[in-house]
Amino acid sequence: MITFDQVSVRYQDAAAPVLREVSLSVPEGELCLVVGPSGVGKSTLLGTVSGLVPHFTGGVLTGRVTVAGRDTREHRPRELADVVGTVGQDPLAHFVTDTVEDELAYGMESLGLAPEVMRRRVEETLDLLGLAELRDRPLTALSGGQQQRVAIGSVLTSHPRVLVLDEPTSALDPGAAEEVLAVLQRLVHDLGTTVLLTEHRLERVVQYADQVLLLSPDSPPLLDDPAAVMAVSPVHPPVVGLGRAAGWSPLPLTVRDARRKAAPLRAALDGRTPPAASATPGPTLAEVGRLVVRRGPNPVLRGVQLSLSAGEITALMGRNGAGKSTLLATLTGLHRPDSGTVRLGELATAPHKAKPRELIRHVGLVPQDPRDLLYAETVAAECAGADADSGAEPGSCRALVARLLPGIDDALHPRDLSEGQRLTLALAVVLTARPPLLLLDEPTRGLDYAAKARLVTVLRELAADGHAVLLATHDVELAAELAHRTVILADGEIVADGPSAEIVVSSPAFAPQVAKVLAPLPWLTVPQVTAALAESAS
């Protein structure tokens, strides 16, 4: 169905091709997962299948990519639309209409389908993705995860033979991600649709893959069955890391497979207690009291009470639309409370009344869309501007970028960075001011495991230096590894608040893979288990 023949892609002024001599085939009716470190060319590879590379993005493509017999060099994206459906990392940037139902119908209108066919397919897709209650909702009023589901639905209605998806679950809560992946699996198994996707949260998707394609900057592409690739891949889900640490063969790809092998490991760890992520809270840096925020007639936050202390990292979790992003935006003054109070440290006024230059000294927000913070022409200019705005020493922001994600070219325009690289740059811009309260909205979206590990190190150091960190995330593995405390929002209300080790384990939806494998033992992460096994062996 998809064939790559000696495919290389080089962008203008780039020192080296982002893809080099890729040759492989993806058969019809299979789900192929593309993995690899950030910036290795995964999104570019997907773009060559839809024709966006090079017709839209520019650059030079050599070799040949054929999809259902069509050469993508000779067919522009609009000429491939009946064969290839594409969902990018940023759904809002690709929406054409204003409401959910209109967006689902738009692609079919462009293909000239009959009205009765369009109506039936819209209803089927609304049911498949759980969007029926949102059919008349404006797209701009949806949460990030809801927008992602609509973007996927707008592609599915056209019944393409090939689906190309760039991190389709990155903005979704665990339950919604499972629903989307179940739909993709049904399309593959029942309709013979070929699915090519990339996803950094491999714990969600690797078990659904028929094949895994590993891209590496230092070696040729590797296409093989998932277990074979995971055995050598530098990026792998926690359950594979646990299998490597325990010496299991073959490596498990699912929690169920791991639990079948885990009895000896549980016995070795029984009676031992992992070190708890604890912090000694300092002064209160933010206080939210009985906060109510409305969007239109409906309250998004309902009487939220929350305090954030220096030295503490708090994970804010919950389903899409629970109010997480609204709470973060209210703490930074972007929303005016309808009732209740918001106080930030020594700030003399409420955040929505404060001047920006004053507010930045108290709180910093890294939003879901990092482009909201990036306005310069190059990475170097962006970093220089951040140093000047925050009064930091020249080079401070660039040093943070290099630490979080080495290898980003100073001369690149921020729009030419991958999603993970843009997020890293935006995070560095905010951290340059070293605000006492740091807020992050889905900070690991687009980050591979290595970049996530570097982020964890930086945030731990910030907390140790007396910063309060609040991160809204669907990444249960991040919460388990990093957060001292976890708060769960549901329908605008806090329904759980306590130590992460207690909260994430008590909720099956938010439990990390290691906890599921080793339950009822209290272990949460692979590093905890690895350290315990090393200690036993010494």
> In angstroms, rounded to a whole number, what is the distance separating the alpha carbons of residues 118 and 124?
10
> Does the residue 261 lie in any domain?
no
Cβ atoms 252, 245 nearer than 8 A: no
Domain stops at, among 235, 265, 299: 235
Neighbours of 208 (CB within 10 A): 19
pLDDT on residue 129: 82
With respect to residue 23, please indicate whether it lies within any of the assigned structural domains.
yes
Give SS3 for 488: strand
Alpha-carbon span 19 to 148, nearest angstrom? 27
**Pairing mode of beta strands 19-26, 222-224:** unpaired
* Per-residue model confidence as pLDDT tens for the chain (538 residues): 899 999 989 887 777 888 888 999 999 999 999 998 877 889 899 999 999 898 888 888 999 999 988 899 888 888 888 899 988 777 877 899 999 999 999 988 888 889 999 999 999 889 888 889 999 999 988 876 788 889 888 988 888 899 999 888 877 888 878 878 888 888 898 888 999 999 888 999 999 999 999 998 888 899 999 999 999 998 899 999 999 999 998 899 999 999 999 999 999 998 888 876 667 788 999 999 999 999 878 899 999 999 999 999 999 999 888 899 999 999 999 999 999 999 998 888 999 998 887 888 899 999 887 888 898 999 999 999 999 888 889 999 999 888 877 888 898 888 878 766 787 889 889 888 889 999 999 888 777 787 788 888 888 988 998 999 999 999 999 999 999 999 999 999 999 999 988 888 877 778 899 999 998 888 999 999 999 988 877 6
The verdict on 363 and 484 lying in the same domain is yes
Domain-located, residue 423: yes
Return the closest-CA partner of residue 307 out of 506, 497, 503, 458: 497
β pairing state of 485-490 and 468-472: unpaired
Contact between residue 208 and residue 181 where contact means Cβ atoms under 8 Å apart: yes
Q: Quick one: 214 and 323 in the same domain?
A: no
Same domain, 79 and 204: yes
CA 168 to chain centre: 9
Residue 300 · residue 458 · CB < 8 Å: no
Residue 173: per-residue pLDDT: 81
Residue 242 lies in a domain: no
355: exposed, middle or buried (Cβ count in 10 Å: 0-12, 13-18, 19+): exposed
Domain boundary among 202, 235, 268: 235
DSSP H/E element including 103: helix 100-111
Contact by Cβ (8 Å): 68, 1: yes
Cα–Cα dist 307/482, whole Å: 19
Statement to judge: residues 387 and 445 lie in one domain: yes
> Which residue's structure tokens are 């951040």?
386
Same domain, 364 and 471: yes
Same domain, 11 and 153: yes
DSSP string, 164-220: EEESTTTTS-HHHHHHHHHHHHHHHHHH--EEEEE-S-HHHHGGG-SEEEE--SSS-
Rounded Cα distance, 61 and 54, in Å: 6
The C-alpha atoms of residue 209 and residue 223 are separated, in whole angstroms, by 12
Which residue in 513, 518, 506, 507 sits closest to 481, CA to CA? Answer: 513
Domain membership of residue 153 (yes or no) is: yes
The residue among 20, 23, 7, 24 whose CA lies nearest residue 61 is: 7
Name residue, tokens 């080495």: 406
Asked if residue 378 belongs to a domain, the reply is yes
Q: Is the dihedral of CA 49, 54, 59, 64 positive or negative?
A: positive
| 519 inside domain | no
Position 487 in a domain: yes
Pairing state of beta strands 162-166 and 194-198? parallel
pLDDT score for 287: 95
C-alpha span between 205 and 253 (Å, rounded) = 10
- Assess whether 229 and 292 both reside in one domain: no
Taking the C-alpha atoms of residue 460 and residue 387, their distance in angstroms, rounded to an integer, is 22
Based on the domain organization, do 370 and 226 belong to the same domain? no
Note whether 346 and 205 are same-domain residues. Answer: no
The CATH number of whichever domain residue 451 belongs to comes to 3.40.50.300
Q: Are residues 214 and 76 in the same domain?
A: yes
Specify whether 338 is located in the same domain as 207. Answer: no
Domain region containing 341: 284-508
Same domain, 299 and 213: no
Cα(166)–Cα(446) distance, integer angstroms:
10
Task: Tally the domains of the chain.
Answer: 2
Q: Say which amino acid occupies 63.
A: G
